[in-house]
Amino acid sequence: MTEREQLELKCINTIRTLSIDAVQAANSGHPGTPMAMAPVVYCLWDRFLRFDPEDPIWPNRDRFVLSAGHASMLLYSMLFLTGVKAVDPQYEILGHPSVTLDDIKHFRQLGSKCPGHPEYRMVSGIETTTGPLGQGVATSVGMAIAAQWMAAHFNRPGFDMFDFRVYALAGDGCMMEGISNEAASIAGHLGLSNLCWIYDNNHITIEGNTALAFSDDVAIRFLGYHWNVLRVGDANSMESLEEALRTARETTGRPTLIIVDSHIAYGAPHKHDTSAAHGEPLGEDEVRGAKRSYGWPEDAHFLVPDDVRQHFAESMRRRGRELREAWYARLSEYRKSYPDLAAQIERMQRRELPEGWDAELPSFKADPKGIASRDSSGQVLNAVARRVPWLIGGAADLAPSTKTRLTFEGAGDFEEDDRRGRNFHFGIREHAMAAIVNGLSLCKIRPFGSTFLIFSDYLKPSLRLSALMELPVIYIFTHDSIGLGEDGPTHQPIEQLAALRSVPGLITIRPADANEVVEAWRAIMPLTHRPAALILSRQALPTLDRTKYASAAGVKYGAYVLGDAPDGKPDVILIGTGSEVAMCLDAYERLRGEGIKARVVSMPSWELFELQSKEYRASVLPPTVTARVSVEAAGIFGWSRYVGLDGTSIGMHSFGASAPIKELLKHFGFTVDHVVAAAREQLAKAAQK
């Protein structure tokens, strides 16, 4: 073994033993994969990854995604050993280490920067939150798409501003999850040659050998997806690993899957298979045995030899610094020739909107026939996208129905032979779509994805990660209620609104008419750290007369007084969202004609309302007015927060049915007569107190 090979082995064993010691100290975690995959990650980071630890967010860096998030110590060890610097939310390098040895010693403990699974925004150098298996590889597809779209949009002759590659390390669990199959299918269809997945083929999951539940021929499957498939028979063979990674880098027209055979054990194929190491600490005796097999001091804990520190500092930092400095020098020259494009790059990185982004927003005249909110949203989306060049997205095969196609000149389609398009065809792959738009957002593109509201269930795990990572992804959900009609209960959302409202950090908005749609987009676009879900109707909604009722600008507050008692002191409050607001107004007019002092509150967004001051919320929903009725063609779960214990909610208490919309609304009680009757009952109840 040469001196160089000896040093590399020492580096690999440092990664392994840091992982072993951290898991043992925490008495919790997964040491097996970090032990087995340490050579793979070392080879990738040391010889291929274009990444500068001094500036872990420079825009053209390669991305490494640890999809097998349970192996988090593998990534934390690399972040520590390479000296990745911390970055604050304002994207300023702070100078201190992202991960310290003390953080590793407190792995999985409260307050440590090394939680059980990698979390984006918590630690610089982590490109995406992983843990739910399959999410990492699916998100990496979005990153690879982002690189190719940004290259097509920004690159000019002599200025290759974007050409980064994306690598993801996956395990057996990732391969079993359906989302990885959806994502692999679209990646192969698009021919994303800058994407490389590394599959740790170790045949072990929590329950035991994968033969219990998994017998796929993964290589054949990925060949069917139009991937380039390579195999490394020994995870410890640096020569084979380097050859495979070089081949992946040189492959054109297809993404690459590298299948790496490994054992969950001490990292050597001839050692005994310690399957328990996959999901729990090794135990003191096994720890000593592992270190002995590595030629490591058995009693040493968290040992990092000086020459290992020096090697990581000199190798990756030097190469990464040279690449990063060359990129920024190129950007300076690029700015001279293409100032507008350079300004776009800089705004994107800061998640800033262009000046005048809302200059073309439409306004809608009062119209009792109205327009479906999906249609008005389509108009607004196109008006915004014309002004925000990096607002891109598409639908899960439903763009004609969700009205999310960008139709202005030059919008185009993102395809294998044309990366400039801004319309994406995700196919019938809701879950992968949501993970892909997360990947786009992580690369600072502003993405949107759309489908029917009922199918938010199909993508919820990825949407949840949008919120957990604080990504300003835009979800457009249409066909928002039983107003869908004849398609019946399989397509009529009931509990989906409540589910979305339960997600911490997600802004959900269900606008009542076309002008509320405009204001909803005005509220959504400036978001930088929160995803948003826009809930839209298929059926036409009357465009309200804003000379008679309050301005739609109140949408930004989440809820506002739309129609009020003459003296501003109502006896009963009607609260509605979306298509039911017009019904509340009709009931209000009838009550007012009877001399009853009523108020109508349009409440498109619970979350925005909760962000307002206590005083504002009390001005809209005075605590002294206990006679309250909420009206929403969805499940009533959660409405007690706003109607109180004495109030009532007109909503769905069952699944829907298949029938024309007018019959359905009458059958389930969504009529003006029912709202008026409920208001009278509330007034009678209040009078008895």
Tokens of 276: 């328990």
Q: Is 128 left (phi over 0), alpha (psi -120 to 50) or beta?
A: beta
Long-range contacts, 265-272 (Cβ 8 Å, 24+)? 265/32, 265/35, 265/36, 266/35, 266/290, 266/293, 266/294, 267/12, 267/16, 267/35, 267/36, 267/38, 267/39, 267/235, 267/236, 267/294, 268/236, 268/293, 269/234, 269/235, 269/236
State which amino acid sits at residue 84: V
Quote the CA–CA distance of 440 and 420 in Å, as a whole number. Answer: 14
Quote the CA–CA distance of 424 and 427 in Å, as a whole number. Answer: 9
Q: Which helix (H) or strand (E) holds 381?
A: helix 373-387
Output b/e per residue, 622-638; b: 16+ Cβ within 10 A. eeebbbbbbbbbbbbbb
DSSP state of 526: T
541 pairs with which residues across the strands? 371
**Looking at 8, 127, 177, 430, which residue is catalytic?**
430
DSSP strand pairing (423-425 vs 391-395): parallel
DSSP state of 360: T
Q: Closest Cα partner for 376 from 384, 71, 54?
A: 384
State which amino acid sits at residue 308: V
Half-sphere exposure of 373 (CA within 13 A, CB side): 31
* Other beta carbons less than 10 A from residue 430's beta carbon: 26
Catalytic, 470? Answer no
DSSP strand pairing (85-87 vs 93-97): antiparallel
258 pairs with which residues across the strands? 198, 230
Q: Rounded to 5, what percent of the chain is helix, strand, coil?
A: 45, 15, 40
* Other beta carbons less than 10 A from residue 249's beta carbon: 14
Tokens of 425: 């065809």
Q: Is 475 within 8 Å of 440 (Cβ atoms)?
A: no
Quote the CA–CA distance of 650 and 481 in Å, as a whole number. Answer: 14
Quote the CA–CA distance of 114 and 41 in Å, as a whole number. Answer: 18
508 pairs with which residues across the strands? 533
Q: Is 600 within 8 Å of 550 (Cβ atoms)?
A: no
Q: Is 262 within 8 Å of 202 (Cβ atoms)?
A: yes
Residues acting as catalytic residues: 430
